[in-house]
Structure 1
Amino acid sequence: MRHMSASQIARLVGVDPAARPYYRALADAVRALIMDGQLPVRVRMPAERHLAETLKVSRTTVTSAYDLLRERGYLESRQGSGSWTALPDPATTADNPWLSTDGDGLTQLQCAAPPAPTHLRAAMLEAVEDLPRYGMGNGYDPMGLPVLRERIAARYTARGLATRPEQIVVTTGSQHAIQLVTGLLVGTGDPVLVESPTYPHAIDAARLRGARIVPVGISHEGWQSDLVVGAMRQSGARLAYLMPDFQNPTGALMDDATRAAVVGAARRTDTVLLVDETWSELALDEVPATSPMAAFDTDSRVISVGSASKLWWGGLRIGWVRATAALARRLAVFRSSVDIASPVMEQLVVARLFDLLEETRAERRRTLRASRDALVSELREHLPEWTFTVPRGGGTLWVRLDRGGSTPLAEAAAYHGVRLAPGPWFGLEGTLEGYLRLPYTAPPPVLADAVGRIRAARDHGPAGAARPPDSLIAMV
């Protein structure tokens, strides 16, 4: 089908004439049809005038709905030729969840990132003292400063995984690390296995390489090894991206038996495992001891990614890759197509922070546990119909809604002063609409206020609330 008539669109959308604002309800309905596959991509939409006449609304209303769909990337138009349905490019759409501004006055609950710890200032001052002796060089080290690589390697060794500094590549954040690995190892059409739900940037990295994404479902209870193994075997996955430590967004923790089983299966299917350990240092309760996933690796197919953003501070923009020494050198050469090296000052700060790792972990446990418990309490009091499992670490709740979808809820919540991360951000198109990710990285009073606003958004929609400012939204 190449064209949809006004009567066909009107029958499909089924918008309540009393919906307010009507143009937004119309745009949401068309978007939902596209996401559900009921309205194919590249189908020509009826002219605004014809659809307005059929729906018995003003042409301005339909024009506003079309404008909103174009803004979100679900409609493309050419003057004199009409408008066609489309799927948004995640890198350019106005509702892109990974571009940021905090200046819109809204509570930023779409972002699971804690503020800087108290030890950051001291580490920065010490790093300033260290800086002059590095200033004699050119500042470019694609592998990363030796002092930081030594600290990272020592931490892996302390966790039971013997590691040499030459196995470490320092990157500009964990997303940079993921992009480097996928860029080097994944080609067009290669199957890449991801958890569902999962960290959205990993999906983006695979899409940028033209990979075929293979989802495998997980829950609060974690991974079913037979499903993961079956998905790897049946898809012939070139690479599998996993987050076994307080998975984002579910908070699940993979036990050692499952880690060993998955690594063993990867060996049999010749799959490379890209293991994201960004949250690994943030256990909030007593949990069973687990080993790094690479500890079960016998043929160098587990690549580990870490970051300073959750334990310390996202503004440092320092991450790392642990791989074989040979692969680490290949990654360092490959990164020249993206950048030359990570900032020296930030590397020195993180090196100093590694000396304060246990103090920072204790501080994070105290503050995140208080925030987690406050958020849980507020949700159980004000939104008891919503269900979730309380994670024993990490920074997010994965909440199942009792009714409606999380995308319209997030839009309504913005009118009430809160930015939210709806479930579809964490999966493939059209999935996870019944879920919402809520981080507990903000202080308890902020979370208490936010839950009240979310309750108002759920019960009343955007009615009576101010229109949110237009902005780009960050999500990590």
Structure 2
Amino acid sequence: MSAPTSSSAAGEAAERLAALVGRTTLHPPVAASLALSLRSLVADGRLPVGGRLPAERELATALGVSRVTVSSAYRRLRESGWARSRTGAGTWTSVPDRSGVVAAFVPGAPRDGTVDLSYASPAGPPEVADAYAAALEALPHLLPSHGYLAGGLADLRARVAERMTARGLTTTAERVLVTTGASAGVSGALRAGTSPGDRVLVEHPTWPNALDVLRMIGARAVPVPRDPTATWGAAGFPGALHRAARETSPAMAYLVPHHANPTGGVLTAEEQRRVAASLQQHDVLTIADETLADLALGPEGGPEDGPGGTGDAADAPPPLAADARPGAVVTVGSLSKSVWAGLRVGWLVGEPSFLHRVASTASREHGALPVVDQLAACVLLDGLDAGLVARRAQLRVQRDALVGALRATLPTWEVPVPPGGLSLWCRLPRGLSSSAVVDAAERHGLFLSTGSRFGTGHAFDDHLRLPFTQPVPVLEDAVARLAAAAADAERAWGAPTTSRGGAVLG
């Protein structure tokens, strides 16, 4: 937050912060609850480090609490290293040197004796090293060139096009743009398709990095509820999306049709057709993130070969773009979840004119794409179908083990079993804050992301994402630490004075 230039501006800054904190989520002891909320906002990245906090009087008025309460909360932040102040100059957010806090979904270095579930990325298989060895053998053939490969390596683009065609979206290499991971693809597409002030439909909850990009470019996220466990009625998610498109005139939409992060939810074939038709009707350019589409796991306790037992591309659901007219959907993909996040190779599939706009911006930011990584990606795509069989089997075992441990240890938590993806989206018992649990868990050597990281405003503080990407013994250890943290949070913060049910926006 920038320094206020008038009493009116100061009041507006305080109102914005009060909205982020959530007036109804504060509970006794209120000063401690407020300090925890502010600390979580800094740790999640929703408050910038070094940003000036509102004056105590303005924030107290905005929150409807006493100035003493705000003063006490600021003092707690200073004592724990999450704020700094100077007499007569105000208070600024900070990060304690000892915390090791890093941006969400950019994990820090492993620390002995800790368990990090703040990100959802599995370990890399041995095939990755073999692929890079093969890439180095192929590299001499490309060294006589300048190394700037417009749009990406031709062989890689051809393989992506073949895989998308096998899934039901007939395409060619000319409609594929290689990016430095899926995140760069999503960011590039959003930047190319929106301007400051534009509205963008997003499913709610959603992948946090997409929300971060929208904030950076000045676009406005329009959340549309998508909860696989909710009772929607006849219209369902497609109906809610249709209404939002009709009422807000968005420029774009960002969706994860298959095994969404964090819920693991999947659009049925009929839902997908209705979503594509509705967004097309309202002329909304859609980004369909298919990064997790290959990770179908089936029901809990299902057969070892699971759905799509061969791992073939044709076993994955058809992309959203297959149900839309050409140019209406830009498809995002990568190998980060199906193989390894350390391989920074992703792609966009769409109209060449739009991809050219994305590529022009990207080339100014980072120049050439990494050639060796692309060569390795070619090798990994050739063996991906076989590798997915083992990957799915491993994830299925880990998912079921995590579900079983949570049900046995924390029986009051709601633990839906997702049909795929990499994480559980757990609903906490009424009165238990994910911010409080995350704060307590760190003291037990367990690192998590708050539920509110996956939504707009202060939504989903009553949820927690738990990835099942680590070995079973590690997951069972994590649940034991989580139970201890939940007990600490309940003792330290007590129950809120109001229900959190109204906090879920959209």
Q: What band does the TM-score fall into relative to the shorter chain?
A: 0.7 to 0.9
Q: Residue 294 of structure 2 contacts residue 316 of structure 2 at CA under 8 Å; is this kept in 1?
A: no
2:199 to 174, 184, 191: 191
Report the equivalent of 1:175. 183
Report the equivalent of 2:104. 97
Structure 1 residue 293 and structure 2 residue 314: aligned? no
Equivalent residue runs for 1:2-401 within 5 Å: 15-16=28-29, 27-28=35-36, 43-45=54-56, 64-67=75-78, 71=82, 77=85, 79-83=87-91, 96-105=103-112, 106-221=114-229, 224-285=237-298, 286=307, 290-401=317-428
Instruction: Give the direction of change, closer, same or farther, for the CA distance of 1:289–1:122 in structure 2 (3 Å limit).
Output: closer
* Structure 2: distance between partners of 1:365 and 1:212: 36
Deviation of the 1:318 alpha carbon: 0.8
Q: Residue 127 of structure 1 contacts residue 349 of structure 1 at CA under 8 Å; is this kept in 2?
A: yes
Report the equivalent of 1:38. none
Corresponding letter in the other structure for 1:148: L
The one-character-per-residue Cα deviations of 1:183-213 (angstroms, maximum 9, x if unpaired) are 1111010001111100001111111110011
Deviation of the 1:290 alpha carbon: 3.1
Instruction: Give the direction of change, closer, same or farther, for the CA distance of 1:325–1:46 in structure 2 (3 Å limit).
Output: closer
* Structure 2: distance between partners of 1:172 and 1:33: 28
Corresponding letter in the other structure for 1:190: D
Q: Residue 185 of structure 2 contacts residue 332 of structure 2 at CA under 8 Å; is this kept in 1?
A: yes
1:415 to 443, 466, 473: 443
SS for the counterpart of 1:312 is coil
SS for the counterpart of 1:313 is coil
Corresponding letter in the other structure for 1:256: A
Instruction: Give the direction of change, closer, same or farther, for the CA distance of 1:448–1:162 in structure 2 (3 Å limit).
Output: same
* Structure 2: distance between partners of 1:462 and 1:127: 53
Corresponding letter in the other structure for 1:324: E
Instruction: Give the direction of change, closer, same or farther, for the CA distance of 1:69–1:256 in structure 2 (3 Å limit).
Output: farther
Equivalent residue pairs, number: 434
* Structure 2: distance between partners of 1:95 and 1:322: 32
* Structure 1: distance between partners of 2:392 and 2:379: 20
Instruction: Give the direction of change, closer, same or farther, for the CA distance of 1:431–1:123 in structure 2 (3 Å limit).
Output: same
- Name which of structure 1's ranges 388-397 and 432-441 shifts more when overlaid on structure 2: 388-397
2:433 to 402, 405, 409: 405
Deviation of the 1:62 alpha carbon: 6.3
Instruction: Give the direction of change, closer, same or farther, for the CA distance of 1:289–1:52 in structure 2 (3 Å limit).
Output: closer
Instruction: Give the direction of change, closer, same or farther, for the CA distance of 1:294–1:431 in structure 2 (3 Å limit).
Output: same
* Structure 1: distance between partners of 2:491 and 2:343: 40
* Structure 1: distance between partners of 2:255 and 2:74: 43
Deviation of the 1:307 alpha carbon: 1.1
> Structure 1 unaligned runs (5+)?
5-10, 18-22, 36-40, 465-476
SS for the counterpart of 2:333 is strand
Q: Residue 174 of structure 1 contacts residue 306 of structure 1 at CA under 8 Å; is this kept in 2?
A: yes
Q: Residue 84 of structure 2 contacts residue 94 of structure 2 at CA under 8 Å; is this kept in 1?
A: no
Report the equivalent of 1:441. 469
- Name which of structure 1's ranges 169-178 and 286-295 shifts more when overlaid on structure 2: 286-295
Deviation of the 1:14 alpha carbon: 6.6
Q: TM-score, normalised by structure 1?
A: 0.83
Deviation of the 1:252 alpha carbon: 0.6
SS for the counterpart of 2:456 is coil
- Name which of structure 1's ranges 208-217 and 219-228 shifts more when overlaid on structure 2: 219-228
SS for the counterpart of 1:309 is coil
The one-character-per-residue Cα deviations of 1:335-358 (angstroms, maximum 9, x if unpaired) are 123212321111111110011011
Deviation of the 1:79 alpha carbon: 4.6
Deviation of the 1:266 alpha carbon: 1.3
The one-character-per-residue Cα deviations of 1:315-373 (angstroms, maximum 9, x if unpaired) are 01111100112222232222123212321111111110011011111111111011001
* Structure 1: distance between partners of 2:259 and 2:349: 19
- Name which of structure 1's ranges 192-201 and 212-221 shifts more when overlaid on structure 2: 212-221
* Structure 2: distance between partners of 1:29 and 1:352: 46
Instruction: Give the direction of change, closer, same or farther, for the CA distance of 1:330–1:450 in structure 2 (3 Å limit).
Output: same
SS for the counterpart of 1:149 is helix
- Name which of structure 1's ranges 387-396 and 336-345 shifts more when overlaid on structure 2: 336-345
SS for the counterpart of 2:465 is strand
Instruction: Give the direction of change, closer, same or farther, for the CA distance of 1:242–1:76 in structure 2 (3 Å limit).
Output: farther
Q: Quote the sequence identity (%).
A: 34
Q: Residue 117 of structure 1 contacts residue 363 of structure 1 at CA under 8 Å; is this kept in 2?
A: no
Q: TM-score, normalised by structure 2?
A: 0.78
Deviation of the 1:161 alpha carbon: 1.0
Instruction: Give the direction of change, closer, same or farther, for the CA distance of 1:380–1:263 in structure 2 (3 Å limit).
Output: same
* Structure 2: distance between partners of 1:139 and 1:452: 50
The one-character-per-residue Cα deviations of 1:148-191 (angstroms, maximum 9, x if unpaired) are 11110110011111110011111001110011111111101000
Structure 1 residue 452 and structure 2 residue 480: aligned? yes
SS for the counterpart of 1:224 is helix
* Structure 1: distance between partners of 2:94 and 2:289: 28
* Structure 2: distance between partners of 1:330 and 1:96: 28
Instruction: Give the direction of change, closer, same or farther, for the CA distance of 1:289–1:31 in structure 2 (3 Å limit).
Output: closer
Corresponding letter in the other structure for 2:108: T
Instruction: Give the direction of change, closer, same or farther, for the CA distance of 1:155–1:94 in structure 2 (3 Å limit).
Output: same
Deviation of the 1:96 alpha carbon: 3.4
Structure 1 residue 426 and structure 2 residue 437: aligned? no
* Structure 1: distance between partners of 2:356 and 2:161: 15
Deviation of the 1:122 alpha carbon: 1.8
Q: Residue 267 of structure 1 contacts residue 301 of structure 1 at CA under 8 Å; is this kept in 2?
A: yes
Deviation of the 1:66 alpha carbon: 3.7
- Name which of structure 1's ranges 361-370 and 216-225 shifts more when overlaid on structure 2: 216-225
* Structure 2: distance between partners of 1:349 and 1:29: 44
Deviation of the 1:214 alpha carbon: 0.4
Q: Residue 109 of structure 1 contacts residue 420 of structure 1 at CA under 8 Å; is this kept in 2?
A: yes
Q: Residue 142 of structure 1 contacts residue 333 of structure 1 at CA under 8 Å; is this kept in 2?
A: no
Corresponding letter in the other structure for 2:192: L
Instruction: Give the direction of change, closer, same or farther, for the CA distance of 1:118–1:54 in structure 2 (3 Å limit).
Output: closer
Deviation of the 1:78 alpha carbon: 5.5
- Name which of structure 1's ranges 452-461 and 285-294 shifts more when overlaid on structure 2: 285-294
* Structure 1: distance between partners of 2:67 and 2:452: 33
